[in-house]
Chain A
Amino acid sequence: METSMEASRSSAPRLISSDRPRLVLSDEERDAILEEISHYENPRAASIEALKIVQKHRGWVPDEAILPIAELLGIPGSDVEGVATFYSQIFRQPVGRHVIRLCDSMTCYINGHETFLDVIKRELGIAPGQTTPDKRFTLIPVCCLGNCDKGPAFMVDEDTYGQVEANDLMRVLEAYE
C-alpha cells in the first residue's frame, strides 16, 4: 500500500477526479469523523478534524484519502484538498515517527533558536522540512508556542518543552525512539 502511494505521488499531475486512486477509510476513522460532524451545523466544518483523524491513524494525509473524506462530508474533493494544503499541521507527505516542532518566532530567535537548528543539523542531519533517513524525526517550524518566557520552545509530538539548554537538546530527543 505504502509503495503504491509513493508511486502515485511521483506520477504527476495531481488531478482530483473520480478515477483517482483512493483508499478505504477504516471503521475507526469513519466513526471518529461522523462523531465530529455531529458537533457542527454543517458537515463541512468537520473537514479539518477529518484530516487530523486520518493523519492520526496514518501519520500523514495521502492524496488517496481526500476523496473518501470528501464523500463522507458531502463536499467536493477540491474543497478538502484546498483545506488540506492550507493548514500547516496537516502533513501531505510522510513524516518521521516523531515530529519536532521548533518555534522560530522572534522571542525564540533572540533566545537562541538558531543554535537549536545548528544542533539538530549537526546531530540529526536535517533542516526544517526534512526527515532523518531512518524516519525517526521530522523537523518543522511552528508559530510561537506561547512559551516565550521559557524559550527556545519546541514540541516533540504532543509534548511541549521549554527551559532546555542547547546542549541538553539531544538528551531530550533520545527519549523518542
Chain B
Amino acid sequence: MTQRTRPLASFGTANRSPRARETHPLTWRLNDDGAPVWLEDYRRKDGYQAAKRALTEMTPEEVCEEVKDAGLKGRGGAGFSAGTKWSLTAKGDGIPRGYLLCNADEMEPNTYKDRLLMEQQPHQLLEGMIIAGYANHSFKGIVFLRGEYVDAARNLKRAVVEAREAGLLGENILGSGFDFDIHVHTGAGRYICGEETALINSLEGKRANPRAKPPFPGQAGAWGKPTVINNVETLSSVSSIIANGVDWYHGLCRPGSEDHGTKMMGFAGKVNQPGVWELPLGITVREILEDYAGGMRSGCTLKAWQPGGAGTGFLLPEHLDAQMCSNGIGKVGTRMGTGLALAVDDSINMVSLLRNMEQFFARESCGWCTPCRDGLPWSVKLLKALEAGEGQPGDIEMLLELTRKLGPGKTFCAHAPGAIEPLGSAIKYFREEFEAGIAQPVHAATAAVGDAG
C-alpha cells in the first residue's frame, strides 16, 4: 500500500494490481488512457452480470438485505445506510411505483470523484441504478446532473442509448419482467440542488428550496411518489456487492473501520500529486497524503486539513493518523464527509480562507430559512473586517455565536450547519489568526488630540 502514484488524468496504474478486480471494485475496469468504458468493454469485464443475478435470481427484498448487510453507506457525505434507506421505501400493494434518483449534482467544494465515475464508467452507474430500481420497485431512474458536467452528460446519455439497445433498459429487462428506464436530467446551477429534497423540487421545475421532513422522500418524493435518492458513488458500488457478496465486501476495509468497502478518496491543495484514488475505508489520512498525494510540495508546510468537503471541520497535522472512515474521523471531532481531503498550507491565512468559504455558502443559500439567509452574510461581513484588520472587540464571540445559531436543528436542511462547522473548528485551532484581525484600539492621547483638532 505504499506504492507511489503518478499524476494522471484518471488513476491509471494507481489501482493496477493483479488482484485489482477484488481490491478495487469501483475502478478496476478503468482504461489507463482515461477513455470511457463503453458497453462492449464493460460487458467483457463482467459488466451487467450483477444486474442479471439481481433481476433473475433474487427478490427485491433480498437485494435490499444484501446491500444492508454489506454495510454500504451513502457516499455523498451524509453516510446513511443505503440498504436501510431502500428497505424504508414505501412499496407494495396499492402503492405506486416511484423514482430512483441519482444525485449527480456534485458541487461540494473539493469534491471531484463523481465526475470521474460518470465520465469514465457510465455503465457501472447505470447497472447500480438498475439494481437499486429493482430493489425499490422504481419504474424510472433519473440522473440529476449538474449542468456544468458537459462530458458526463454526453457519456451518460450515450451509455443509456447503448443499454437500451442491448435490452438492459426498457421493458422486461433481461427477461426478468422488470421494466425500468433512465433519463439524464441536467440542472442550471446552485449548490443547494444537491440537498435531496431541494433536488426533488428542482427536478419538478421549482426553485430548489428544501422540503420539510417528514414525509421522507421514500414515502412521498418526486411528484408525490416513493423516491429513493442515492449518490453516484453509492450507486456505482452496488453491482460489486451483488456480484461478490457481503463477506467479500466486509473484507475490503482496514481493521478498526466501522464502514465497509472501498471509497474514492483524494487529497488536493499544495501537495505534490493531487488526485483521487479508490482506497480501503479505514486507511490513515497520513497514508493518503504521503503515499498517494506524495506529501506537501517543497516549501509548503501542512498547517490544517479538512477530511471531506467544505462542510467538514478543520483538523491539524497531529490528527493525520486518524483513519479515513466515519468512526475514525468522528473520533477527532468532525465527519468524513466525501472523503476527499484538502491540505491547507502555511501560506494561507485562515481568516481569508474562511472568508472565501463563507462567501460561497452565503451565495449558495437558497434563502428559505432566516438563520442561513441572514447569518451567513453576517459571518462574511465579520470575516471581511477581520481580514482587513478592522475587526472590533466582540467580533470573534459573535462569530462563535453564529456557529451556534446556525447549527443543527435551526434550519430546514444541513446547508447552514455545514457552512458554519468549519468556522467553529478554525476559531478553535487558529484563534490567534482571528485575534490578529481586531483593530488596535486608538491610543487615548491620540484620540484626545484628534478630538481637539
Interface residues of A (CB under 8 A from B): 39-42, 44-49, 51-52, 73, 75, 79, 82-83, 86-90, 101, 104-107, 109-111, 141-151, 155, 158, 160
| Residue from the set A39, A44, A86 with the largest chain B CB neighbour count within 10 Å | A86
Complex contacts, A150 vs chain B, CB 8 Å? 274
Q: Is the beta-carbon distance between A107 and B147 smaller than 8 angstroms?
A: no
Q: Is the beta-carbon distance between A105 and B183 smaller than 8 angstroms?
A: no
29 A-B pairs with CB atoms under 8 Å apart are: A44-B205, A45-B204, A49-B186, A83-B205, A83-B206, A87-B187, A87-B190, A88-B188, A88-B189, A89-B148, A89-B189, A104-B356, A105-B109, A105-B356, A106-B110, A106-B310, A106-B353, A106-B357, A107-B342, A141-B363, A143-B109, A144-B107, A146-B107, A146-B114, A147-B115, A148-B266, A148-B268, A148-B342, A160-B148
Q: Is the beta-carbon distance between A143 and B107 smaller than 8 angstroms?
A: yes
Q: Is the beta-carbon distance between B203 and A146 smaller than 8 angstroms?
A: no
Nearest Cβ distance between residue B111 and chain A, in whole angstroms?
Answer: 6
Complex contacts, A105 vs chain B, CB 8 Å? 109-110, 310, 356, 360
B148 is contacted by which of A51, A82, A142 (Cβ under 8 Å)? A142
Answer whether A160 and B151 are a contact pair too, CB < 8 Å, given A42-B204, A46-B205. yes
Q: Is the beta-carbon distance between A148 and B189 smaller than 8 angstroms?
A: no
Complex contacts, B205 vs chain A, CB 8 Å? 40, 42, 44-48, 73, 75, 83
Q: Is the beta-carbon distance between A146 and B202 smaller than 8 angstroms?
A: no
Nearest Cβ distance between residue B71 and chain A, in whole angstroms?
Answer: 27
Nearest Cβ distance between residue B253 and chain A, in whole angstroms?
Answer: 24
Complex contacts, B268 vs chain A, CB 8 Å? 107, 148-149, 151
Nearest Cβ distance between residue B106 and chain A, in whole angstroms?
Answer: 5
Which residues B352-375 have CB closer than 8 A to chain A? 353, 356-357, 359-360, 363-364, 366
Complex contacts, B170 vs chain A, CB 8 Å? none
Binary interface profile of B, 122-164, with partner A (CB < 8 Å = 1, else 0)?
A: 0000000000000000000000000111110000000000000
Complex contacts, A155 vs chain B, CB 8 Å? 148
Interface flag for B389 (CB, 8 Å): no
A107 is contacted by which of B185, B206, B223, B269 (Cβ under 8 Å)? B269
A53 CA / B421 CA spacing, docked (Å):
39
Nearest Cβ distance between residue A128 and chain B, in whole angstroms?
Answer: 11
Q: Is the beta-carbon distance between A107 and B109 smaller than 8 angstroms?
A: yes
Q: Is the beta-carbon distance between A42 and B276 smaller than 8 angstroms?
A: no
A144 CA / B108 CA spacing, docked (Å):
6
Nearest Cβ distance between residue B272 and chain A, in whole angstroms?
Answer: 11
Complex contacts, B360 vs chain A, CB 8 Å? 104-106, 143
Interface flag for B340 (CB, 8 Å): yes
Complex contacts, B190 vs chain A, CB 8 Å? 86-88, 143
A106 CA / B222 CA spacing, docked (Å):
33
Pairs A-B, 8 closest by C-beta atoms: A88-B189, A105-B109, A149-B274, A89-B189, A87-B188, A47-B205, A146-B115, A44-B205
Q: Is the beta-carbon distance between A106 and B356 smaller than 8 angstroms?
A: yes
Interface flag for B1 (CB, 8 Å): no
Complex contacts, B340 vs chain A, CB 8 Å? 148
A104 CA / B360 CA spacing, docked (Å):
8
Q: Is the beta-carbon distance between A48 and B274 smaller than 8 angstroms?
A: no
Interface flag for B252 (CB, 8 Å): no
Of all chain B residues, the one with the shortest Cβ separation from A147 is B112
A170 CA / B363 CA spacing, docked (Å):
28
A158 CA / B344 CA spacing, docked (Å):
30
Complex contacts, A145 vs chain B, CB 8 Å? 148
Q: Is the beta-carbon distance between B223 and A41 smaller than 8 angstroms?
A: yes
Complex contacts, B187 vs chain A, CB 8 Å? 48, 87, 89
Of all chain B residues, the one with the shortest Cβ separation from A158 is B150
Interface flag for B191 (CB, 8 Å): yes
Of all chain A residues, the one with the shortest Cβ separation from B203 is A45
A149 is contacted by which of B148, B188, B204, B266 (Cβ under 8 Å)? B266
Answer whether A111 and B269 are a contact pair too, CB < 8 Å, given A45-B203, A83-B205, A90-B188. yes
- Known contacts A82-B207, A86-B366, A144-B112; 19 further A-B pairs (Cβ under 8 A): A39-B183, A39-B185, A45-B203, A48-B187, A52-B186, A52-B188, A83-B206, A106-B356, A106-B357, A107-B110, A107-B269, A110-B344, A143-B360, A146-B106, A146-B112, A148-B111, A158-B150, A160-B148, A160-B151
A86 CA / B348 CA spacing, docked (Å):
33
A150 CA / B115 CA spacing, docked (Å):
13
Interface flag for B263 (CB, 8 Å): no
A40 CA / B310 CA spacing, docked (Å):
33
